[in-house]
Structure 1
Amino acid sequence: MKALIDVHYLPSLEYFCCLLQHESVRLERHEHFIKQTYRSRSYILGGNNVQMLNIPVVKGRSKTPVKDLRTDTRQPWKKQHWKSIRSAYGNAPFFEFYAPELEQMFQNKTDFLIDYTFPFLTLCLKWLGADIMLEWTGMYENEPDSSINDLRSVIEPKSGYQERSFYRPVPYLQVFGKNFVPNLSIVDLLSCEGPNALSVLKSSAGV
């Protein structure tokens, strides 16, 4: 079955587990932007516990299509996000391998949110070695075809992964803390597990 889903920023493990359970994925670019979601935020594990990385956006007219939404370039959030990631994972065993390309992604000059977050998704899929077919929506559909699993606004921070079956956490050794913190950004898993990251995801997804 094909999945229809929104584009997330440095997506969570649940997001990737969801992708792995579908034959192909259609990415929504015509929906109206929704605040306080994974569309513009991500979570990493730093020395002071879980840290949120939030992309500030320019407030436009009400119900702005996500494809037209601009990030707030007046704020130095790109530098701050990279600094936070480097501080959190600088000592992780595999971070050095991914750091050059990841740092380069934070230098993307685009003003548009979705044009900024989408390359992160494709880069992480490349690192994972996950062969997942991606395509964009051509228009917004309230009720997609029954052959499509509509997952727009389903994977969100406020709802929690426990309510769904995409992700069943398989613990791995993290940089900080004694207790495993599940469902962080894929950056956490890649930095800690490297080439084994896809196996951890598949086990967590039950595929």
Structure 2
Amino acid sequence: MHGTLLHLPYFGPVTHFAEVVNAEQLWFENDDNYQKQTYRNRMYIYGANGKLLLNIPIKHLNSPGVKQHQKYRDVRMEKDFDWQKQHWKSLKSAYQTSPFFEFYEDDLAPLYHTDFEFLTDFNYRCFEKLCECLQLDIPFEKTSEYIKEPLEKNDRRDLINAKVDSRTPAYNQVFQEKKGFLSNLSILDLVFNEGPNTINYLRELSFRP
């Protein structure tokens, strides 16, 4: 079946969601190995001092001298400290004066006050909650095996790489007068600043050269 194939991020960047809203059929890679330095467990927001990383700590497999791979779907989140409380506090601090934070606050807050064990379970719930906030009805499928070069799918799994610098058109941001426009932050930055206009922005972005 034709469709767009993506990795599932933690409130991924704007460019990732431009692919989501314009996909005829959406597939999430569900059988890949977990990799570091990706949006699987991190997002970037606009804090008072500029670009701010919010990182979800995960449990690593510990076998001295042996390199072990974990399936993304098997990765558990670390609970030694309350990262959920920290992330929600950072989001409130960064966006409580944005035009639409209060509008979505009650919908998103439970994500940071609910216990999750697996990273993918949390990320799927974040995706579903975001779709609810934006009134998006986007059905998706999960892959059942890893295919390096899938046929008949628009393979955009590259967008999960947090080291790739992508440029996005400017919109109003809370601290823009201090640090200027910061491009391709977490989708939450766009949502809190643009609200319902987020969908129009994403659809237009996908058609830019």
Amino acid at match of 2:78: D
Q: Report matched runs for 1:166-185 at 5 Å.
A: 169-178=168-177, 179-185=180-186
Checking the alignment, whether the CA contact within 8 Å between 1:46 and 1:87 is kept in structure 2 is yes
* Matched pairs, number: 200
Q: In structure 2, what residue type is equivalent to 1:160?
A: D
Percent identity (aligned): 35
State the secondary structure of the residue aligned to 2:154: strand
- What stretches of structure 2 of length at least 5 have no aligned partner? 63-67
C-alpha separation between the residues in 2 aligned to 1:108 and 1:150?
Answer: 32
Any stretches of 5+ residues in structure 1 without a counterpart? 163-168
In 1: Cα distance, 2:23 partner to 2:129 partner: 19
Deviates more, 1:131-140 or 1:38-47: 131-140
The alpha-carbon deviation at position 170 of structure 1 amounts to 2.6
Q: Distance in 1 between matches of 2:175 and 2:159?
A: 29
- How far did 1:201 drift? 1.4
| 2:7–2:157 contact (8 Å) kept in structure 1 | yes
What TM-score, normalized to structure 2? 0.90
- Per the alignment, residue 94 of structure 1 pairs with 100
Conserved in 1, the CA contact under 8 Å of 2:21 and 2:199?
A: no
Tell me what 2:124 maps to: 118
- What do the CA deviations read for 1:53-98 (whole angstroms, capped 9, x no partner)? 0000000261100111000011211110000000000111110011
Paired with 1:112 and 1:12, the residues of 2 have a C-alpha distance of 21
> Which whole-Å CA distance do the structure 2 matches of 1:132 and 1:24 have between them?
9
Q: Which range moved further: 106-115 or 46-55?
A: 106-115
1:158 is aligned to 163
Local SS of the residue matching 1:161: coil
Deviation at 1:147, TM superposition (A): 0.7
SS at match of 1:43: strand
Aligned AA (2:161): E
Aligned equivalent of 1:28: 29
User: Hey, what's the Cα distance between the residues in 1 that align with 2:39 and 2:202?
Assistant: 19
Which amino acid in 2 is paired with 1:157? A
Between 55-64 and 149-158, report the one with greater CA deviation.
149-158
Q: 1: CA distance between counterparts of 2:160 and 2:146?
A: 19
Match of 2:82 among 58, 61, 76: 76
Give deviations 1:15-51, integer Å, cap 9, x for gaps: 0011233211111121100011000000100100010
Does the 8 A contact of 1:79 with 1:106 survive in 2?
A: yes
Partner SS, residue 81 of structure 1: helix
98-107 or 31-40: bigger deviation:
98-107
CA distance in 2, matches of 1:20, 1:90: 26
Aligned residue identity for 1:202:
R
1:21, 1:103 → 2: CA distance? 27
2:65 maps to which residue?
none
Q: Which amino acid aligns with 2:165?
A: G
Secondary structure of 2:157's aligned partner: coil
Structure 2 residue 153 is matched with structure 1 residue 148: yes
Match of residue 108 from structure 1: 114
Partner AA of 1:137 in structure 2? T
